[in-house]
Amino acid sequence: MATYCEILFPLPVFQTFLYRLPDELAARVRVGSRVVAPLGSRKLSGYVLEIKELSQEPEFRVKEIAACPEDQPDLPGIILQFALELSARSLTAPGLFLEMAEPPAAREKPRVKLAITEKGLKELLSGRLKGRRGQILSLLADRQLSPVYIKRKLKVREINSYLRSLSQEGLVEVREKAGKKKPLKITPAPVFRQLALPVRPEGLPESGHRLLQKLESGEGGSCLLTGSQERRLEFLQKIIEYAAQHHGFTLVLVPEIQRLEKWQPLLQSLSGRAVVWHSQLTDSLRRHNWNQIFSGRARIVLGTRSALFLPFQPLSLLVVDEEQDDLYYQADGPAFEAREAARIRAGLEKSLLIYTSDCPRVSQFYHHRQAGSLLDLGREEVCYRVDYYHQDLGRLLKKELKEEIKHRLEKEEQLLFLVNRKGYAGYLFCSACGFVARCEQCRIAMSLQKKNGELTCSYCGHTREAPADCPVCGGKLRPGRVRGSQYLREQLQEIFPGKKVEVLEEGAGEKDSEKIVRRVKSGKGQLVIGTEYALRRLSEGRFSMLFLVNPESSLNLPDFQAGERTLATIYKALEMVKNEDSSRVVAVTAGPEPELVIQALSRNYQGFWEKEIEYRRLLNYPPFSCLVEIGLDSRSLRTSGRWSRLLLEQLRLDFPELELIGPRISRKKWRREKREVRLMVRLPSEEKAGNLLASLKKFRQHRPATRLWVRVWP
DNA sequence: AGCACGCCGACT
DNA sequence: GTCGGCGTGCTC
């Protein structure tokens, strides 16, 4: 009989590794402990998943755990379970999730610098070294460099093998610049005691009291909170302050760092007891906040999706704010859906889970309505006026609205023009036969760039030269009436000379964008053109006039979520408007405005939802079916193509009723790797998605080199 | 992931 | 010959 441990390493592999636990470590090592163990030729730290006795040695050679550094508390069992469950749902290796749960100190890697030795210098001067090894040495001739710099400079994939051989021969020296590694203060887990009878907050509606009862019962459960932003914030603040009195931890998730701004009042009113957590924290603040949380001094954490992995316990309240925001899906790095992860973590700890949004996803609304867990706080009437125009944008600005805009500019007011096209015109068409230039892949109209006469697909990013004549009838091609940011800028500059027109859109570079944002904040930028990207960067309630330029055009995207996405964009744009009588919203559409645009502008979510749910029922989209997107990528397109065919074969065998939709085109333009194949699959229900995941896991067993990911739309 | 190993084309 | 690039498979 000997004691063994199953270890999970932070690697993109799905297996655990078995090690013998030496007697001298037996007293210290527990499930969740961080241990160091030999793996191949390396020594890696991993986490203990299981400790067990085995009466006989396994068939493979088992190594021994090397050490158990006492530099961090054990990961709680719930975090281990969380990582495993999330891995099963996302097909991301569980160890990568555990890595996200590590305390700051474990993640700060020592900085390594390389220096040339005397011997290396001699060797370099002798001129005997050629190729990569010579290049590396001559780079190091006059200064010390980091391995990453050399790797980028020389564009090699695997730098370590060269460095190892060079350092073995004594030609270079590896100097570890040990950071000032202050060990983390490890404090015992906080105890939550009820000191006095909890005081219920005042002015809470009946539904709020029911939520508090749920919180007190400790049985968990979830709900969807809708209504205006102000009302939701006020409501949540009361619930959170109440929870902080005597319950465990509260975690409030926001979709992006920028969105923490509106929670500042809560942070201030709970000063010291609430901290923020996201990827942009400085090392020292990260350490400070971690210590605050783990000593129990701070019990409220406001953060982005990475905060879900903080290993504090018990989590009694979990809020997912702005649940409609797609940034909750993490596509790069370990891929996972944070809204689903929130459900998993809340389920494991029986915490109360509150999703909140002004314009929730259609499926989410449906599920909570069915479950009776919908909580609508309503909204105040808005003061501003909304008008619709159907004429040409240029004409509109030059004639009808010129005087009004001029007047507003004189009063130093700020105006925002929201466009959803970056180029000059939204499309190129033939006035004779009605032909429209479309993207071959996505089948949607491509927008025209005036500068270089190129057509760009705003959906997949594909670019090609614009044809001069109509390929169907040979007639002249003309720019269409859906206008882009280039066109608008030209017009505004012409009509209001001497006024600077700011354009805030993706792809301008972070420095320039930052400058524009600052100018707008200072009140200097008065005429602002922006795409959806601008809505994430600008702060709310600044503008006295908002132009929605062709908000209807995104409805044509080949995407079942086009409706709810368009609605969410308009809702967000409306938050930019100053809520005053003199404010005005202008919607400019190419034809008569679609019903959805009217519903969005009057914030008639109910009306939108009823229409949309009918449409989804008819076309059998979620929530009436479950869509699963499967991505496959590897280093070459040929291999991912071959594997995708193999995968499809297996899926057809396992699921005869399976319906293939697509292939779907990648919407993410920043997703550089083109060697990815995507499949979209329809299943009758979410339960079936579980079986599909099992089948995908089976597939991955014999193809571990491919990156496989899934995204489920219930 | 990182590392070893083996295959293959290019170049002293 | 042998150097370096790249694909493949393994790590208890």
Q: What are phi and psi of A233, to 5 degrees?
A: -60, -45
State the pLDDT at residue A565. 96
Query: What is the rounded CA–CA span in Å between residue A1 and residue A270?
Result: 54
| Segment among A332-346, A358-372, A471-485 with least mean pLDDT | A471-485
Confidence of residue A401 (pLDDT cuts 50, 70, 90): very high
Give me the amino acid identity at A321: D
State the pLDDT at residue A601. 97
What CATH homologous superfamily does A626-713 map to? Answer: Ribosomal protein S10 (3.30.70.600)
Q: Which fold has domain A2-107?
A: GIY-YIG endonuclease (3.40.1440)
Architecture of domain A385-424+483-602: 3-Layer(aba) Sandwich (3.40)
| Segment among A283-292, A467-476, A489-498, A697-706 with least mean pLDDT | A697-706
Quick one: average pLDDT of A88-95? Answer: 93
Beta strands in A591-658 (DSSP E): 626-633
Contact residues for A207 (Cβ-Cβ < 8 A; gap 6+): A375
Per residue, the 3-state secondary structure of A431-499, as one string, reads: CCCCCECECCCCCCECEECCCCCEEECCCCCCEEECCCECCCCCCEEEECCCECHHHHHHHHHHHCCCC
Across A199-213, A219-233, A669-683, which has the greatest mean pLDDT? A219-233
Q: Quick check: do A206-376 and A385-424+483-602 share a fold?
A: yes
Query: What is the rounded CA–CA span in Å between residue A408 and residue A427?
Result: 32
A179-CA/B3-C1' distance, Å: 27
Segments making up each domain of chain A, as ranges? 2-107, 111-177, 206-376, 385-424+483-602, 426-479, 626-713
- What letter does residue A392 receive in the DSSP assignment? -
- What letter does residue A559 receive in the DSSP assignment? S
Quick one: average pLDDT of A331-344? Answer: 94
Q: Which residue is nearest to nucleotide C9 (CA to C1')?
A: A705
The answer to whether A38 CB is within 7 Å of strand C is yes
Confidence of residue A145 (pLDDT cuts 50, 70, 90): confident
Cβ–Cβ < 8 Å for A301, A276:
yes
State the pLDDT at residue A670. 36
Nearest to A119 by CA among A132, A110, A109, A129: A129
pLDDT higher than 80, residue A158: no
Confidence of residue A531 (pLDDT cuts 50, 70, 90): very high
pLDDT higher than 50, residue A73: yes
Nucleotide with smallest C1' distance to residue A164 CA: B3
A639-CA/C8-C1' distance, Å: 13
Confidence of residue A105 (pLDDT cuts 50, 70, 90): confident
| Segment among A44-58, A317-331, A527-541, A627-641 with least mean pLDDT | A627-641
Contact residues for A170 (Cβ-Cβ < 8 A; gap 6+): A117, A119, A120
Quick one: average pLDDT of A58-75? Answer: 92
pLDDT higher than 90, residue A471: no
Nucleotide with smallest C1' distance to residue A39 CA: C11
SS3 at position A283: helix
CB under 7 Å from strand B: A 11-13, 40-42, 158, 160-161, 164, 704
In Å, how far are A151, A161, A470, A636, A676 from A157, measured between CA atoms? 7, 10, 46, 15, 20
Token couple for A699: 């597939």
pLDDT higher than 60, residue A328: yes
In Å, how far are A331, A417, A531, A589 from A483, measured between CA atoms? 31, 11, 12, 10
Between A226 and A109, where is the model more confident? A226
Quick one: average pLDDT of A7-32? Answer: 95
Q: Which residue is nearest to nucleotide C11 (CA to C1')?
A: A40
Nearest to A542 by CA among A556, A525, A557: A525
Contact residues for A508 (Cβ-Cβ < 8 A; gap 6+): A516
Query: What is the rounded CA–CA span in Å between residue A48 and residue A35?
Result: 7
Quick one: average pLDDT of A301-313? Answer: 96
Quick one: average pLDDT of A317-332? Answer: 95
A40-CA/C3-C1' distance, Å: 26
Nucleotide with smallest C1' distance to residue A61 CA: C12
State the pLDDT at residue A671. 41
Nucleotide with smallest C1' distance to residue A96 CA: B1
Percent of chain A with pLDDT strictly greater than 70: 93
State the pLDDT at residue A668. 46
State the pLDDT at residue A547. 97
The answer to whether A699 CB is within 7 Å of strand C is no
State the pLDDT at residue A688. 86
pLDDT higher than 50, residue A27: yes
State the pLDDT at residue A426. 78
Between A451 and A230, where is the model more confident? A230
pLDDT higher than 60, residue A672: no
Nearest to A401 by CA among A553, A585, A576: A585
A18-CA/C9-C1' distance, Å: 20
Residue A664 half-sphere exposure, CB side, CA atoms within 13 Å?
Answer: 21
The verdict on whether omega for the bond into residue A623 sits within 30 degrees of 0, i.e. cis, is yes
Token couple for A675: 């060697």
A711-CA/B10-C1' distance, Å: 45
Contact residues for A270 (Cβ-Cβ < 8 A; gap 6+): A240, A241, A244, A300
Quick one: average pLDDT of A227-237? Answer: 95
Between A707 and A604, where is the model more confident? A604
The verdict on whether omega for the bond into residue A622 sits within 30 degrees of 0, i.e. cis, is no
Q: Which residue is nearest to nucleotide B2 (CA to C1')?
A: A42
Nucleotide with smallest C1' distance to residue A634 CA: C7
Q: Which residue is nearest to nucleotide C8 (CA to C1')?
A: A705
* Mean pLDDT (chain A, rounded): 88
Tokens 């942070």 label which residue? A267
The answer to whether A130 CB is within 7 Å of strand C is yes
The verdict on whether omega for the bond into residue A201 sits within 30 degrees of 0, i.e. cis, is no
State the pLDDT at residue A450. 77
A147-CA/B12-C1' distance, Å: 29
A414-CA/B8-C1' distance, Å: 65
* Strand C nucleotides, any atom under 7 Å to a protein CB: 3-12
Per residue, the 3-state secondary structure of A63-125, as one string, reads: EECCECCCCCCCCCHHHHHHHHHHHHHHCCCHHHHHHHCCCHHHHCCCEEEEEECHHHHHHHH
State the pLDDT at residue A557. 79
Quick one: average pLDDT of A397-414? Answer: 93
SS3 at position A183: coil
pLDDT higher than 50, residue A567: yes
Nucleotide with smallest C1' distance to residue A11 CA: B1
Q: State the Rg of chain A over Cα.
A: 29
The answer to whether A155 CB is within 7 Å of strand C is no
Nucleotide with smallest C1' distance to residue A20 CA: C12
Token couple for A311: 């290993």
pLDDT higher than 80, residue A396: yes
Between A427 and A377, where is the model more confident? A377
Between A239 and A105, where is the model more confident? A239
Percent of chain A with pLDDT strictly greater than 90: 54
Between A659 and A129, where is the model more confident? A659
SS3 at position A300: strand
Quick one: average pLDDT of A692-697? Answer: 87
- What letter does residue A171 receive in the DSSP assignment? S
The answer to whether A63 CB is within 7 Å of strand C is yes
- Domain A206-376 matching CATH 3.40.50.300: the answer reads yes
| Segment among A50-64, A326-340, A451-465, A592-606 with least mean pLDDT | A451-465
Tokens 């466009």 label which residue? A419
Quick one: average pLDDT of A197-209? Answer: 84
Nucleotide with smallest C1' distance to residue A10 CA: B1
Quick one: average pLDDT of A234-243? Answer: 94
Q: Which residue is nearest to nucleotide B11 (CA to C1')?
A: A131
Q: Which residue is nearest to nucleotide C6 (CA to C1')?
A: A157
pLDDT tens profile A115-141? 888 888 787 777 767 777 788 888 888
A642-CA/B7-C1' distance, Å: 22
The answer to whether A26 CB is within 7 Å of strand C is no
Nearest to A662 by CA among A690, A629, A637: A629
Confidence of residue A181 (pLDDT cuts 50, 70, 90): low
Cβ–Cβ < 8 Å for A415, A544:
yes
Between A355 and A246, where is the model more confident? A355
Q: Which residue is nearest to nucleotide B1 (CA to C1')?
A: A11
The answer to whether A18 CB is within 7 Å of strand C is yes
pLDDT higher than 60, residue A713: yes
State the pLDDT at residue A513. 94
Nucleotide with smallest C1' distance to residue A58 CA: C12
* Strand B nucleotides, any atom under 7 Å to a protein CB: 1-4
A159-CA/B12-C1' distance, Å: 24
Per residue, the 3-state secondary structure of A618-637, as one string, reads: HHCCCCCCEEEEEEEECCCH
Tally of CB atoms within 10 A around A1: 6
State the pLDDT at residue A118. 81
Contact residues for A276 (Cβ-Cβ < 8 A; gap 6+): A260, A267, A289, A301, A302, A303
Tokens 């006035």 label which residue? A431
The answer to whether A641 CB is within 7 Å of strand C is no
The answer to whether A378 CB is within 7 Å of strand C is no
Nucleotide with smallest C1' distance to residue A161 CA: B3
pLDDT higher than 60, residue A381: yes
Token couple for A134: 């010579």
Quick one: average pLDDT of A388-412? Answer: 92
